[in-house]
Structure formats: structure tokens, C-alpha cells
Amino acid sequence: MIDRKEVICTINRLRSQGKDDAYCEAKACTHSLSADVWETVSAFANTHSGIILLGVDEHHGFEPCPGFDTSRVIDQFVEGIGDGSPSGARLANPPRYELVRLEVEGTEILAIAIEENDVNRKPCYLIARGVASGTFKRVDDKDLLLSKAEIYELQTAGTPVDSDRRPVPETDASDLDAEQVARYLAVMSSSKALRGVADDAQALERLGITDKQGTVRLAGLLTLGVYPQQYFPALIIDVAHHPGTEKSEPGQPRFLDRVTCDGALSETVTDAVRAVLRNLRTISYVDGVSRHDTPEIPEEVLREAIVNAVAHREYQELFVGQSVVIDIYRNRVEVTSPGGLWGGKTLANLADGTSRCRNSTLMHLMETMPVRNGDGLHAERQGSGIPFMIHMMRERGLPDPEFYAGIDQFKVVLWRPSAEVAPAEHASRRKEMVVTSRNVTDSIPQSRSANTALDILPTMLHSNRVSLDFDGSSHRKERLQQIMNFVEERAPVGIQEISEGLDINLATTRRDIRALLKAGYIQATAPAQSRRRRYYPAPAGHSPS
């Protein structure tokens, strides 16, 4: 239930930052409901929940509007959302909402809480404009039109798809690598799949590599093709090594290295792993009288991230012009693939050990394809890939992989150890990882390991970070600093996300949040009892008490 305290907190936040944000939109609408309100409703329903404040003027310091006609605006909203006359509905797939009159500074305003739609009720769009021109998403304080690719992803997020099974025109068995085909058929010869087949042509059809006319399916071309890029030039892995922490920083060369990895998927994955490894540092560990050299990011983690990118990416026609991209920065490696999450997967259940893959034929071929010389795809459908990556990174004392999901894009971020501290100093310095960029709308919470191996890694702190001054154990100070950094980078952020993201007990998180609030390091968007309560850093120049 929206209450007055929550709205007051929200208005104060908007005044402090001087603009709307990703979770709140204020509009004057003094005498009638403005048409662009429906764009905001669509955006919140398609992206995440949010609050619309009507009768609040952004252009005059978010002051309540004298003369605001609350009753008329309510009637117009209820009619447009579809709860009045059916003929007056402005939206397809309208969201659930809560509407409350409130008095603020002696003037009545209207607060409307919009809930995000379930996956089977997206997209929400303006009927008069149609789905292509009337579907919006929320990015910061803006309502932006969705692209065709984003709309497709919303429409099919819970629907079985077969893009990987579509036949590729003008192809036949001559487009397949004969040696690889022979090896694969030999491996599969004892399987039930090839029971009773008369010849290789029927075997290829039975395995989903070709259709009945002998045309090669996309999945077959990608895994067994001589050169799939003859038909799909962009289905490559593009590896780029950047000199700084962002792309194209002033005064720096654009790339330190650039590799286009093409061929069948086993080749592209192997080449991409090698390209990344040669641009990473090697760390030496001494065990007794032996020295072990290993990449700063485990090779197994890199391979898993890259295999996942090609296996789970979107191969629908709107996306085959997009490549899987690997960006190597001074402090991290990012693996970005086309297509959002699919089949009920969300950022909250991504690492729950269940497997859902939009490309079932491709995945089957990848997991049954023979491996040569230790290289290849190493794919499996047990849902263990992400937990494996997390375990391997923690074992090395590295931060957990971070996962960012947009409507039509998915990104994995692997943090590198810092090179800014000389090796001799590593033993006396601890690492504190800080997120430095967010390029995709949504994110999955990250976890941070307390592994003692962190002791060998350096400190990485932003120059604008505030250093917390609290009495108590060094462990608690470190935990408070982690929470503060997490809030600063992801604000506004809820307590559940903080708890899960930092792998801290919920009760402990609540206690620490109260301490940070009391000390003035962070502020809340709503009263303590509100389910929409989120936290953000105190304004610049604030002096903690």
C-alpha cells in the first residue's frame, strides 16, 4: 500500500537529484491526464515496477500543482487502463496498479504504483500505435521505444522456438565437413537415434543436421559446417583488447589486439579462448619446490562463459547480424551475446542448477559432438555451468562472475586481479572489487567470497569512494564498506538484492543497513515497512554523523 511517508521520501529524492529516475516519473497533469503517461505505464510494465506521481511538477522543483483536478485525472486513468468502459482502454496487456490520493504540502496529488508484468503478459503497449510503435522500456528517467528485436524477445521469452532448426537456403551436405561428419556419425552409431537408418543422408536427417530435402539446418551448419560464415558472416566471436577500463578512451589506441574467430563453433570457441588467454597475465604459484603458472582468470571459466554465449544466444533472423563480443579491459573481461533470458530464467534463478535452452537442437549437437585434442565445446544440459564458474572464481580468490541481462542482450563480467600493485606488495594488501560500469538495463546481484586467497590480491578503490569510520571488528568494517560500495554502484537497490548480492545473512544486512542509515552514509526511498523501500548513497557533500 502506498502511503504518504513513502511519497514524501520519493519527492525528496527527486528534488535532491533534480530529475526523475528509473523508478519514478512525476507529471503535472494539472487539469487532465497527459497522453505520455501511457508511455510511462508501458515502460514500467515492460521493464520493472515504478511509481507515477501526478500533480507534481518536475519543471518547478517537484512542487505539488495548485488546482490539480484529482478526480478527473483518476477517472481518465481508470478508463485508459481498461477498468472503465472496454472501448476506452489505451493499453494492451495493462499492468496491475495501485492508485492513492495523498495530500503533500497542503495540496492533493495522485500516486500510482505500476507493477511489472509477468513474462506471459509482455509486451504492454499502446493500442492506438500498435506493438511496433507503442511499446516502451524504462532507461534512467526516459521512456524509450523498444526495437523490433526487443519486442520479439518479450513476445517469445516463454515460448518454444526453433530458430536453430530452420533450413539454410542453398545449402546441402557439401557444406558440411566430411571428416567431422564421419567422426560424429561413428560416435553416434550405437545410439537409439540412428536405429534402422539406411545411409548417412538419413542419419543426418535423424540427428537434426539436415531436413528431409537434404538442406542443412542452422544448428548443423554451425557445428559441422565447413565455413558457416559463408551464409552468416556475423556469426563469429569478436575478441577485442582495450587499453583502459572503457572503450575508446581519449588519448589511447582503440585496440591492443583484435581477433575475429570464425569457422564452426568448436573452432570459434577454441580460437576465442586462446585469444583471450594471450591477452591476460600469467600468475605463478609456488607449491613446495614446484611452481605452477596459470592464467589470472581460470581457462575453464572463460571457456564456460564463451560456450554459454554461443549455445544460449538468439539465432532468430533479427539477430543473425549480431556477433558474440568479448571485450578485454584492464580490470575485467566481458562476454556479451545477443538475446535476453528465455524459458522462465530470470536473474534471480540463473544459478539455481536448472537448465533451459532456447536452442535445443544446437545444444544436443554441441553436447554429443566429439572433442579433438582437448578443444571443442564441452557443452552439457545439467544447469551446472554457472555454479561451476562461481566455484572456480572463488577458489582463486576472485569475485564471482557478474551477470547483466537486457531485453535483447546478455553479458557476463569476469573481474581480473589488479596489476597496479607490485607483486611484493600483494601479500599485505586485500582486494576490494568495485563495479565500474553498467551498460545493460537489468542486473543479477553479485556475490563476494571471503576466501583468504584474497590476501594475495591488491586493493581496487574508486578515487571518490568514502571510507567508512565505524567502531568494531575489521570484519564488520569490511562488510559495511562492501554494502556501501554495492549501494553506490546499483542504487536504488533493495535489501534483498544487497543480501543475496553480497552473500550476507538477511538479518545481518538489515542491522548493517540501519547503521549506515543512522550514520548518514545512505538514504532510503520509502519508510521501513514499505515493500518498495530501496537505498541510495547520501548526496555529495553530505557529512556522516
CA-based max dimension of the chain: 85
Residue 398 cell numbers, joined: 576472485
- Residue 311: its pLDDT value, please? 94
Is the separation of the CB atoms in 241 and 272 below 8 Å?
no
- Highest-scoring range by mean pLDDT, 131-140, 509-518, 520-529: 131-140
Is the separation of the CB atoms in 40 and 25 below 8 Å?
yes
Angle between helices 474-490 and 495-502 (to 10 degrees): 120
Of all residues in the chain, the percent with pLDDT exceeding 70 is 84
Give the model confidence (pLDDT) of 117-164 as tens digits: 988 899 999 999 999 999 999 999 999 999 999 999 999 988 888 999
- The DSSP symbol for 217 reads B
CA distances from 164 to 213, 241, 335, 362 (A): 17, 30, 21, 6
Mean pLDDT, residues 226-255? 94
The gap from C-alpha 192 to its chain's centroid, in whole angstroms, comes to: 39
Task: Identify which has the larger pLDDT, 418 or 369.
Answer: 369
Mean pLDDT, residues 430-447? 30
- Residue 452: its pLDDT value, please? 27
Mean pLDDT, residues 224-229? 97
- H/E run at residue 368: helix 360-368
- Measured in residues, the chain has a length of 545
- Residue 206: its pLDDT value, please? 96
- Residue 529: its pLDDT value, please? 66
Residue 182 cell numbers, joined: 564421419
Give the sign of the dihedral formed by CA 152, CA 153, CA 155, CA 160: positive
Confidence category of residue 473, pLDDT binned at 50, 70, 90: low
Mean pLDDT, residues 13-26? 93
Q: Which of 24-33, 60-69, 290-299, 371-380 has the lowest mean pLDDT?
A: 371-380
**pLDDT > 70? residue 186:** yes
Burial annotation 505-543 (CB, 10 A radius, 16+ → b, else e): eeeebeebbebbeeeebbbbbbeeebebbbbbbbeeeee
Mean pLDDT, residues 26-43? 95
- Highest-scoring range by mean pLDDT, 275-289, 299-313, 427-441, 504-518: 299-313
Task: Identify which has the larger pLDDT, 32 or 435.
Answer: 32
Other beta carbons less than 10 A from residue 316's beta carbon:
18
At position 281, the amino acid (one-letter code) is R
Of all residues in the chain, the percent with pLDDT exceeding 90 is 58
Task: Identify which has the larger pLDDT, 242 or 294.
Answer: 242
Indicate the pTM of the whole model: 0.73
- Per-chain mean pLDDT for the chain: 84
Task: State whether residue 54 is helix, strand or coil.
Answer: strand
CA dihedral 243, 248, 253, 259 (to 10 degrees): 70
- Residue 191: its pLDDT value, please? 92
Short-list 461, 215, 443, CA closest to 331: 461
Give the model confidence (pLDDT) of 357-390 as tens digits: 889 999 999 999 887 655 556 666 666 788 899 9
- Residue 356: its pLDDT value, please? 78
Confidence category of residue 432, pLDDT binned at 50, 70, 90: very low
Q: What are phi and psi of 138, to 5 degrees?
A: -100, 120
Confidence category of residue 468, pLDDT binned at 50, 70, 90: low
Confidence category of residue 467, pLDDT binned at 50, 70, 90: low
Mean pLDDT, residues 86-104? 92
Mean pLDDT, residues 504-525? 86
Mean pLDDT, residues 38-45? 97
Task: State whether residue 103 is helix, strand or coil.
Answer: strand
Q: Which of 94-108, 204-218, 415-429 has the lowest mean pLDDT?
A: 415-429
Mean pLDDT, residues 428-440? 29
- Residue 377: its pLDDT value, please? 63
> Residue 438 half-sphere exposure, CB side, CA atoms within 13 Å?
19
Mean pLDDT, residues 209-238? 97
**pLDDT > 50? residue 431:** no
